[in-house]
Amino acid sequence: MSRIGVFTCHCGENIGATVDCAKVAACTRNVPGVVHSVDYKYMCSDPGQTLIKEAIKEHNLTGVVVAACSPRMHEPTFRAAVAEAGLNPYLCEMANLREHCSWVHGKADATTDKAADLIRVMVEKVKHNEPLHPIKVPVTKRALVLGGGIAGIQAALDIANCGHQVVLVEKSPSIGGHMSQLSETFPTLDCSQCILTPRMVEAARHPNLTLMTYAELEKLEGFIGNFKATIRKKARQLDEKLCTGCGLCTTKCPQKKIPDEFNEGLGRRGAIYVPFPQAVPNKPVIDKANCTFYRSGKCKVCEKVCPTGAIRFDQQDELVTLDIGAIVLATGFKVMRTDKFPEYGYGKYPDVIDGLQFERLASASGPTLGAMQRPSDGKAPETVVFVACSGSRDRSKGVPYCSKICCMYTAKHAMLYKHKMHHGKAYVFYMDIRSSGKDYDEFVRRAIEEDDVTYIRGRVSRIYEEDGRLVVKGADTLMGGEPVEIKADLVVLATAVQAQDGSEELAQKLHVSYDPYHFFAESHPKLKPVETNTAGIFLAGACQAPRDIPETVAQASGAAAKVAALFSRDELTREPQVAVVNRLPAPMFSYCVGCFLCQSACPYQAIEQEEIRGRDGSLLKTLAKVNAGLCQGCGTCVATCRTKAIDIQGFSNEQIFAELMTL
């Protein structure tokens, strides 16, 4: 038989003015199960709390109802007080007499009656409350960062600097990502390599940071604080310990004509290569698809010339399994490629290139060593046309969204060109100029006013070649849609930013949700921008949406802070408001029939399968099982369950039902 104590608070005049607290306290005494009911001026005050604590001991109460303000305000306060008196804190509930009654109704019997009702409801609930205990989940203090671009590097460094272990996994042979390909960066025009490489080196040197380049996530199991990640380390065909990175092999490789990824196909590399001079780690990798030895069984020149005998033709991929506590997704983006632009002849005409290619052309470390030479014949382009929004904000190209960075880098490209070729002519076709960011608009103005880049507001309809030059046909919408034709030597398309290839598969591996364009989805568009729906997995950079460098770095540090906060305790304590599947003795084992229709209702993939097996190992029943580490306690599964096998602690069917039945 429950022994409930009810404590009605006047909250000074706040409640007392409109609700007859004494009367409420009095009539509450007649509610079955209530053994003690008093009213007091300020329950949340020390004397008020003492009142409750003493009553618990004196009347050895089995439950407490504090009729005062909103539980969203003082529930923690009173639960703590109750706990101090030795009663399980979850046996204390609050009736909201202030926000939901005294403040919103005038002084009247009806108001007092309502107050009494609200208390009765809570009394009935408390009768069905169970002692609950916070859920403790151990936390493995090692983070996994997927993607070695600036986002991944920044996140990894920040976490490492908090004194936690970090594993940084990058699928290509070197970290650095797209930022390492850029020539200069807006809005300051400082050299990308110069600001990035120190970070790359720091990442390589950091004692808490383990680099895994040329590696990919194979599989992920577990949940927040307790992930198990399997990483595939692709074979470099190289003993990295022996390799000194002298680069002799790369110079001697007979293969010389392979389009080089780092230079976006504008340069050439060998079959054994280091992606770029500042690569980290500075160790070559053999591109099996193009290596003469793997194709014909002969060659092995690299092996012969290697002074340390580091080449390993027989080396195989290696699988490593790691215990991980938290994950930062920083897999970045890609730009839309040729096949999408027949009208621009991109892919057909060598002198129609994309933004990344232009970065390489402009870069001092690029194939032309920074000299403005167009791909087709190496001539210096006298006229260059830049086409913004190539594919972006264009439903017919499947990209309705704005790629965000193009307005800025197009202005930058035009500037870089003008700085290298003062007499040259630069045109920019654009829809709108979106330059909202610190010093961004000033930057664009500079391109227009100081470097006299001609901006034409309009779309380009077609580009074709005519006697060795590219004819760009467009319209100038500010001149009443006048058709414009420009004969150019080089055309640069600011092609749309898209989700990295394989994002969908990765998202499914990690149970992270993603948007229609395969960018990873944040947990809340405003308030949880770096979290995902899966606890313990965070987002950084352009894998979530198009981002520029400053934003990416900021978000990466944000994600790192979330990881550090998670790692700040050995155990993760969670409110016990979680769903549980009931268990019964054999042969039923549970009301659950294992239809798993609740599984898709759970926003957190918290519902797992549990197989019940007999002594002989035969499968007796398959039940739903809630992973308390993942469950956030929304209860959607509960409303979905036909057999009422699944219920939620703190808001159980019995509790809600009891509340309802008092009305």
Partner 1 sequence: MRIGYYPGCSLLGSSREFDESVRALAGALGLELVQVPDWNCCGASSAHVLDHKLSLALPARILAQAEAAGLEEILAPCAACYNRLASARDALDKDPVLAREMEKVIGRPATHKVRVVNILEVLDRFKDTLPGLLKVPFAHKVACYYGCLLVRPAKVLHFDRAEDPQSMDRLAAAAGAAPLDWNYKTECCGAAFSVTRTDLVARLSGKIVADAVRAGAEAILVACPMCQSNLDMRRTESNAYLGADHQIPVLFITQALGLALGIDANRLGLQRHMVPATFAPAAV
Partner 2 sequence: MTDSFEPKITAFVCNWCTYAGADLTGTSRIKYASNVRVLRLPCTGRIDFMLLAKAFSRGADGIIVSGCHPNDCHYTSGNYHARRRWMVYRDLMDFMGLDTRRITFSWVSAAEGARWAELVNEVTVAVRALGPYTDYRELALTGVE
Partner 3 sequence: MDVIATSRQLLESGAVQAVIGFEAGTRGIPRPAFIRRAEGAGALVFDANCTQNLGTYLTRPEVRTLGRVAVTATPDTLRAILQLMAERQLKEEDVLALAVDATGEALELPTAQAVEEHLAMVAQVLPDRDREALERLGRMTREERWAFWQGEFARCVKCYACRNSCPMCYCGHCTMDCNRPQWVAEPSHALGNLEYHMVRAMHLAGRCVACGACGRACPVGIPVHLLTFHGEESVHRQFGQRAGASSRLDYALSTFRPDDKETFIR
Binding residues (CB under 8 A) for partner 1: these are: 341-343, 396, 462, 464-466, 471
User: Are 301 and 252 spatial neighbours (Cβ–Cβ below 8 Å)?
Assistant: yes
Q: How far is the CB of 396 from partner 1 (least distance, A)?
A: 7
When the beta carbons of 349 and 651 are compared against partner 2, the nearer one is: 651
370's tokens: 């920074």
Q: How far is CA 515 from the centre of its chain?
A: 12
Q: How far is the CB of 660 from partner 2 (least distance, A)?
A: 6
Pick left, alpha or beta for residue 350 (phi over 0 → left; psi -120 to 50 → alpha; otherwise beta). Answer: alpha
Range in contact with partner 2 (rule: CB under 8 A) among 93-101, 317-325, 424-432, 497-505: 93-101
- Measured between alpha carbons, how far is residue 344 from residues 487, 494, 495 in Å? 14, 12, 11
Question: By CB under 8 A, is residue 381 in contact with partner 2?
Answer: no
Residue among 319 and 639 whose Cβ is closer to partner 3: 639
The DSSP symbol for 238 reads B
- What part of residues 507-536 is at the interface with partner 2 (CB under 8 A)? 523-525, 533
Residue 101: which of partner 3, partner 1, partner 2, none does it interact with, CB under 5 to 8 A by kind? partner 2
CA 270 to chain centroid, in Å, comes to 36
Ramachandran region, residue 12 (left: φ > 0; alpha: ψ -120 to 50; beta: rest)? left
Smaller CB separation from partner 2, 99 or 476: 99
* Best CA proximity match to 514, nearest among 522, 221, 462: 522
Residue 161, binding choice from partner 3, partner 1, partner 2, none, Cβ under 5 to 8 Å by partner class: none
Here the tokens at position 168 are 């940084």
599 binds, among partner 1, partner 2, partner 3, none (CB under 5 to 8 A by kind): partner 3
> Of 310 and 645, which has the nearer Cβ to partner 2?
645
246 binds, among partner 2, partner 1, partner 3, none (CB under 5 to 8 A by kind): none
* Residue 464 interacting entry, from partner 2, partner 3, partner 1, none, C-beta within 5 to 8 Å by type: partner 1
3-state DSSP percent of the chain in helix, strand and coil, to 5: 30, 25, 40
Quote the least distance from Cβ 341 to partner 1, whole Å. Answer: 8
Q: How far is the CB of 15 from partner 2 (least distance, A)?
A: 11
Instruction: For Cα atoms 398, 399, 405, give the angle at the middle one, nearest 5 degrees.
Output: 155
Q: Which residues contact 573 (CB under 8 A, 6 or more apart)?
A: 134, 135, 136, 137
Smallest distance, partner 3 to C-beta of residue 611, A: 12
Question: CA-CA-CA-CA torsion for 617, 622, 623, 628, nearest 10 degrees?
Answer: 60
The interface mask with partner 2, positions 600-639, x = CB under 8 A, is -x-x----------------------------xxxxx-xx
Query: Considering Cα of 405, then 408, then 412, then 415, what sign does the dihedral take?
Result: positive
For residues 280 and 247, give the distance between their C-alpha atoms in angstroms, rounded to a whole number: 14
User: Minimum CB separation from partner 1 for residue 465, in Å?
Assistant: 7
Closest CB to partner 3 among 235 and 656? Answer: 656
**Using rule CB under 8 A, residue 576 touches partner 2:** no
Please check whether residue 517 is in contact with residue 499, taking contact to mean a CB–CB distance below 8 angstroms.
yes
Question: In the complex, what is the shortest distance from the CB of residue 535 to partner 2, in angstroms, rounded to a whole number?
Answer: 12
Mention every residue, 6+ apart, whose C-beta is less than 8 A from residue 320. Answer: 212, 230, 231, 233
Binding-residue pattern over the window 52 to 71 for partner 2, x denoting contact by CB under 8 A: ------------------xx
Nearer to partner 3, 124 or 354 (CB): 124
Cβ pair 231, 319 in contact under 8 A: yes
Is the bond preceding residue 187 a cis peptide, omega within 30 degrees?
A: yes
Q: Which is nearer to partner 1, 23 or 397 (CB)?
A: 397
Q: What is the b/e burial string over 49-59, where b = at least 16 CB atoms within 10 angstroms of the residue's CB?
A: bebbbebbeee
The β-bridge relationship of strands 92-96 and 63-68 is: parallel
User: Residue 229 burial by CB count (10 A; 0-12/13-18/19+): exposed, middle or buried?
Assistant: buried
Is 187 an interacting residue with respect to partner 2 (CB under 8 A)?
Answer: no
Residue (396 or 618) nearer to partner 1, CB: 396
- The 8-class DSSP code of residue 434 comes to -
The least CB distance from residue 392 to partner 3, in Å, is 23
| Total residues interacting with partner 2, rule: CB under 8 A | 44
Cβ closest to partner 3, residue 411 vs residue 646? 646
Phi and psi (nearest 5°) for 135?
-85, 130
Contact residue for partner 2 among 37, 49, 111, 390 (CB under 8 A): 111
Q: Which does 477 bind (CB under 5 to 8 A by kind): partner 2, partner 3, partner 1, none?
A: none
Of 68, 63, 95, 58, the closest CA to residue 82 belongs to: 63
Which lies closer to partner 1 via its Cβ, residue 259 or residue 342? 342
Out of partner 3, partner 1, partner 2, none, which partner does residue 207 contact, by CB within 5 to 8 A per kind?
Answer: none
The tokens for 410 are 């197009």
Contacted by 516, from partner 1, partner 3, partner 2, none: CB < 5 to 8 Å by type: none
Partner that binds at residue 118, options partner 1, partner 2, partner 3, none, CB closer than 5 to 8 Å by kind: partner 2
42 vs 464 by CB, closer to partner 1: 464
Residue 100 Cβ vs partner 2, minimum distance, rounded to whole Å = 6
Query: Between 201 and 597, whose beta carbon lies closer to partner 3?
Result: 597
Q: What is the SS3 assignment for 480?
A: coil
Q: Give the C-alpha distances (Å, rounded to integers) separating 256 from 268, 270, 271, 273.
A: 6, 5, 7, 10
Residue closer to partner 2 (CB basis): 437 or 650: 650
The CA-atom distances, in angstroms, between 292 and each of 295, 296, 308, 588 are: 5, 6, 21, 64
Q: Nearer to partner 1 by C-beta: 214 or 346?
A: 346
**Residue 4 touches which of partner 2, partner 3, partner 1, none (Cβ within 5-8 Å per kind):** none
319 binds partner 2, rule: CB under 8 A: no
Binding partner of 216, given partner 3, partner 1, partner 2, none, CB within 5-8 angstroms per partner class: none
Q: What is the distance between the alpha carbons of residues 284 and 289, in angstroms, rounded to a whole number?
A: 15
Q: Can you tell me which of 55, 119, 121, 510 binds partner 2, judged by CB under 8 A? A: 121
Complex with partner 1: residue 462 or 613, whichever CB lies closer: 462
Residues near partner 3, by CB under 8 A: 588, 591, 593-601, 622, 636, 640, 642-645, 653-654, 657-658
Work out whether 654 is an interface residue with partner 2 (CB under 8 A).
no
Cβ–Cβ under 8 Å, residues 645 and 592? yes
597 binds, options partner 1, partner 3, partner 2, none, Cβ within 5 to 8 A by partner type: partner 3
Q: Which residues of 197-222 are buried (b: 16+ CB within 10 A; e: fewer)?
A: bebbebbbebebbbbbbbbbbeebeb
Which residues of this protein are in contact with partner 2, per CB under 8 A? 70-73, 96, 98-101, 103-106, 108, 110-111, 114, 117-118, 121, 523-525, 533, 577, 601, 603, 632-636, 638-640, 648, 651, 653, 656-657, 659-661, 663
